[in-house]
Structure 1
Amino acid sequence: MKKWLKFSFSTLLIAILMFSLAACNNDTTKTKKLEKVRLAEVTRSIFYAPEYVALEKGFFKAEGLDVKLTTTFGGDKTMTALLSGGTDIALVGSETSIYVYTQGTDDPVINFAQLTQTDGTFLVSREKIDNFSWDMLKGKTFLGQRKGGMPQMVGEFVLKKHGIDPHKDLNLIQNIDFANISSAFASGTGDFVQLFEPTASIFEKEGKGHIIASFGTESGHVPYTTFMAKQSYMKEHNATVERFTRAIYKAQQWVKTHSTEEIAKAVQPYFQDTDFEIIKMVVDRYKNQGSFATDPILDEEEWNNLQNIMKEAGELPKQVDYKTLVNTSVAEKIIQK
């Protein structure tokens, strides 16, 4: 009887050991199966909250992807990284895909998943204004964004919409580098400035300026920032693009159904130098004005609105058909499922 017990106990130990080794091997296999995807974002912004949610909540990993995020700081640098093979997927303004295409290419950049659907900038005044009207900008100094970029084009589009010629009715400054616009305003340059968050809210909290209007609300829906890849990558890695888009869609739906505080907590690790209350304020502002797209489909109306804005700013090289640079087949397939 003792021999049988000894044998049974030994057998049990061996079985446990074998099970543990198998479990470890399975974990290793799972890790090995994660496919690396290089993702470059044009800047680090709370505006891109669903992207960080997809990373932080493990939606990419659940799809078998190991997404490595880098911030390239600028549309030109982001597109260069994509075209040169330095990244697989880029998050950048859709206007960049038009610029590349019209310059001539055998491998165009394709927009396959939309992340934000409005402009993300706000009009900030130096003095507090209780009853703001756009004609108050006439004759004033306005610090705009870089010429040719979406913020600048949307800014001019909105000004013209309100009967203001940005080049005649005000003193327009556009020669200050993006990174230095806020500091220029803080040091006393300009009466009004066009700023992204969280800078706009930080300025308001510190008494350096006052948010008086939203360019996103004024300009309507546009494919402001989208995920894009070269056509060749889309063909060769169709399954990867599908899994990537599915993770983004999950994140978009998560952002749609969760509170401002929950979203702010999810993205906080990516903004460790920003006060949590400011993060909440910014998320709330973008969420309430519908800046976060709730699905990855870039529709034709948005595409046409984008080109109208570019044309109005004198920056559209030529009209590009929606189907030439936009592929919604992957996004539509995911949503239908």
Structure 2
Amino acid sequence: MQRRDILAAALAAAAWPGWARAQAPEKPKVTIAVGGKNLFYYLPLTIAEQLGYFKAEGLDVTIVDFAGGSRALQAVVGGSADVVSGAFEHTINMQAKGQPMRAFVLQGLAPQIVLGVNPKTLPNFRSVADLKGRKIGVTAPGSSTHIMLNFVLAKAGLKPSDVSVIGVGASNGAVAAMRAGQIDAISNLDPVITLLQRSGDLRVVVDTRKPAEAERVFGGPMPAGCLYAPESFVAQHPHTVQALTNAMVRANKWIQHAGAGDIIKTVPESYLLGDRAVYIDGFLAAKPALSPDGLIPPKGPETALRALASVDDKLARAQLDLAATYTNTFAQRANARYPKG
């Protein structure tokens, strides 16, 4: 069978009522690569792990954390991980490179990425055009924080080469770089952003933690964090993918009903960056941008491609099959099984 035929058969099998709970995972031991596990962007992944949702689905999941999403993707491409917990737009980039990836459950309705400037080094900042020639921190070069930065720069008439991009990670290193004046601006996520805001070390310029603002910035729904894997993995391990999806959808739904106290009790202490109040503020800011059901919006891939194509001429000219970058079949099955989480 051709690769597409195998995938079609797997997705058709997933549509059978009761399938999601009737079949054991083909690959019970799964390694998930993530870039910045402590970020709210990936909170459903941590919740699924901490509350035992993966184990409940018959999975033994190992989560390996990297400095950014691009490095997490490299782990899967290199064969040291099976699945990426990362930004949806990587599925588009990889299809263009002839290495098809498919997203199968959503974590974020909006990117949750914030672009802000350093009030110490840019006290007279007026517009994005003022970033020309400046040093800007991202989680890791090539990651979603870098992609959004390039998109915002392009809208202001700047090229990616007009700024110096520095990988600062997604934790205390990013905070330290801003406070020390080593970077003039930052494209990052919570809790890093809220921590910098509370200490007066950040002036927000673009805030896609707000779904409405994200839609204005990108011109449509912009799917964010998700689980994605090589198309071959999805085709060959449909029961494993369904089990992963079940766990993630349960986590999504739990978060929607959780209070700040519930989150604090569940995540590792290291996530709090030494300040519980900041973490709570970050969670409340990020919560509206988290997916309630794991379903990828049908127009989301189009929005993501527009954003990528605005800074990549090759993608703008590429003939891509956006329908092949994602499937909602597994998430629909998971919602049917866990209507209340």
- Bucket of the pairwise TM-score, normalised by the shorter protein: 0.7 to 0.9
3-state DSSP of counterpart to 1:232: helix
1:69 equivalent in alignment to 2:60: no
- Counterpart CA distance in 1 for 2:261 and 2:54 is 22
Alignment of 1:168-247 (within 5 A): 172-179=162-169, 182-189=175-182, 192-211=185-204, 213-217=206-210, 218-220=213-215, 221-247=221-247
2:101 equivalent among 87, 109, 124: 109
- Counterpart CA distance in 1 for 2:110 and 2:149 is 12
Which protein has the larger Cα radius of gyration, Structure 1 or Structure 2? 1
Alignment TM-score, normalising by the size of structure 1: 0.76
Contact 2:41-2:112 within 8 A present in 1 as well: yes
Paired position in structure 2 for 1:122: 114
Paired position in structure 2 for 1:46: 40
- Counterpart CA distance in 2 for 1:185 and 1:47 is 21
- Counterpart CA distance in 1 for 2:197 and 2:108 is 24
Contact 2:174-2:192 within 8 A present in 1 as well: no
Segment drifting more, 278-287 vs 68-77: 68-77
Over 3 Å counting, the alpha-carbon distance change for 1:284 and 1:326 in structure 2 is same
Deviation at 1:200, TM superposition (A): 1.9
Segment drifting more, 189-198 vs 69-78: 189-198
- Counterpart CA distance in 1 for 2:141 and 2:62 is 30
- Counterpart CA distance in 2 for 1:272 and 1:144 is 21
Structure 1: give runs of 5+ residues left out of the alignment: 1-32, 129-133
Paired position in structure 2 for 1:321: 321
Deviation at 1:270, TM superposition (A): 5.3
- Counterpart CA distance in 2 for 1:160 and 1:314 is 10
1:157 equivalent in alignment to 2:151: yes
Structure 2: give runs of 5+ residues left out of the alignment: 1-25, 216-220
Segment drifting more, 200-209 vs 246-255: 200-209
Segment drifting more, 110-119 vs 195-204: 195-204
3-state DSSP of counterpart to 1:300: coil
Segment drifting more, 94-103 vs 64-73: 94-103
Give deviations 1:70-90, integer Å, cap 9, x for gaps: 113233332232123311211
Paired position in structure 2 for 1:301: 299
Alignment TM-score, normalising by the size of structure 2: 0.75
Deviation at 1:315, TM superposition (A): 6.0
Over 3 Å counting, the alpha-carbon distance change for 1:101 and 1:118 in structure 2 is same
Q: Match of 2:179, as an amino acid?
A: A
- Counterpart CA distance in 2 for 1:257 and 1:263 is 10
